[in-house]
Amino acid sequence: MIKKTAAELGTLIANREVSAVEVAREHLDRIAAVDDRVHAFLHVDTEGALAAAEAVDAKIAAGEKLGPLAGVPIAVKDVLATRGVPTTAGSKILEGWRPPYDATLVERLRAAGTVMLGKTNMDEFAMGSSTEYSAYGPTFNPWDLARIPGGSGGGSAAALAAYEAPLSIGTDTGGSIRQPGAVTGTVGAKPTYGGTSRYGLLAFSSSLDTPGPCARTVEDTALLHAVIAGHDQRDSTSIDAPVPDVVGAARLGATGDLTGVKVGLVREFSGEGAEPGVMSAFRETVEALTKLGAEVVEVSCPHFLYALPAYYLIAPSECSSNLARYDGVRFGLRVGDDGNRSLEEVMSATREAGFGPEVKRRIIIGTYALSSGYYDAYYGQAQKVRTLITRDFTAAFEQVDVLVSPTTPFVAFELGSRTSDPYQMYLADLFTIPTNLYGGPAISVPCGLSEGLPVGFQVMAPILGDDRMYRVAAAVESAVGTFAPPAL
């Protein structure tokens, strides 16, 4: 049962061939059996999951018609507020915090009848590319437990690859859904910015953060996307527009027919900086697309090469502002309040104890970039680069329907091999960051193996062109298949 797709599980539950409680128990048993080695979860909500499953079974027994994912288990990245359930963003500064409300995405998941298994591990406040910066220890890649599962949403991706959950939720600020998907052989989609609500998402970089769906197949990812997407008046950046038919597009793509689709190969991402095995799998997949009827042309996006430095000024600047709220006064950790210290001393002690090294590094960078005398030279210039990248995308999509590239320059690296070199760590997001700066949708779908480890194929589409993205991704999946890790 644990190896069935979410779509298959939903159908079995709806037809009463299996109960939602049975499905939930099997996945909870799987978590109990393997998560001591994978560490995908920070909190497993056994009682809540079984209660939700029982409620679905009762509704089905009463004859209610439910959605396609009713009764299907899901894991949620621990950066989304979940009422009554520990929500830490992977940080000691929020250890033990139980929100009094649900994020909009969590509300929608509950309304759709999905069964929340628990909260997944992540780099602290979504700042990292390996899930090694979690305050609660790293997550391990089910393909090779000595390697990273990507980041910041490594827990959400690892839970899928380890068959602990058929669905999961991630967030993508610079690649934190797609990059873990690539290195774990799973599917991860970043929707159009504003296409999914940020209400209840613990903010890292408000102009970049995008919640999105993760699964083991493109169709499952699209089904989850359809559940969580849509306008939310509580989020000022939410787009008030119809959700593209992502499920229909995924099913169309699964037929393997891309006749009439024009695919742009990003010249600047066509080889430099990527491992040979990654590029080999990527090129073979591009050839497969041509056999499915797609027209492939090379497209130049010259400013993509400046995306990484621009991102690492914009994102830290916004995190410097957003994380100022963790002051030891209003909620969360409070250190040094012995009655003899000033408020400023308590705040300083709390932030020193509560934040990890990567969060501190980015707060310092961001605060400096925003400081008097440096704002225009750093943050202002980075925003100008962002505009140029947006223009590159706009020009490219006048020529092609989608753009493609490898998702990551390399396969999963060994734990501990890059923590001492932040720049090498940041390179994991080299190919994913441009889309975040632009705001359009992008997806990573497995396209092969290099040295026995998964390689991801990235499909990028114009703003609100999420359906195009799913069609091409599903066609890739139809051509190359899915990939399963060795048995744990």
Which residues form the catalytic set?
77, 152, 176
Contact assessment for residue 154 and residue 146, using Cβ atoms and an 8 Å cutoff: no
Given the DSSP bridges, would you call strands 41-44 and 115-120 parallel, antiparallel or unpaired? antiparallel
Helix locations, 233-306, DSSP H: 246-253, 276-291
Adjacency order of strands within the sheet including 187-190? 41-44, 115-120, 73-77, 167-172, 210-215, 187-190, 442-450, 453-460, 402-406, 262-266, 295-299
Q: Work out the number of other CB atoms within 10 angstroms of the CB of residue 64.
A: 11
Residue 52's nearest CA partner among 21, 76, 94 is: 21
Strands, DSSP E only, in 322-430?
A: 402-406
Radius of gyration of the chain (CA): 21
Phi, psi of 375 (to 5 degrees): -55, -55
Q: Is the peptide bond before 152 cis (omega within 30 degrees of 0)?
A: yes
Q: What is the rounded distance in angstroms from the CA atom of residue 327 to the CA atom of residue 337?
A: 12
The encoded tokens of residue 25 equal 């128990």
Query: What's the DSSP call for residue 77?
Result: E
Q: What is the rounded distance in angstroms from the CA atom of residue 285 to the CA atom of residue 272?
A: 18
Largest CA distance in the chain: 73
Contact assessment for residue 105 and residue 169, using Cβ atoms and an 8 Å cutoff: yes
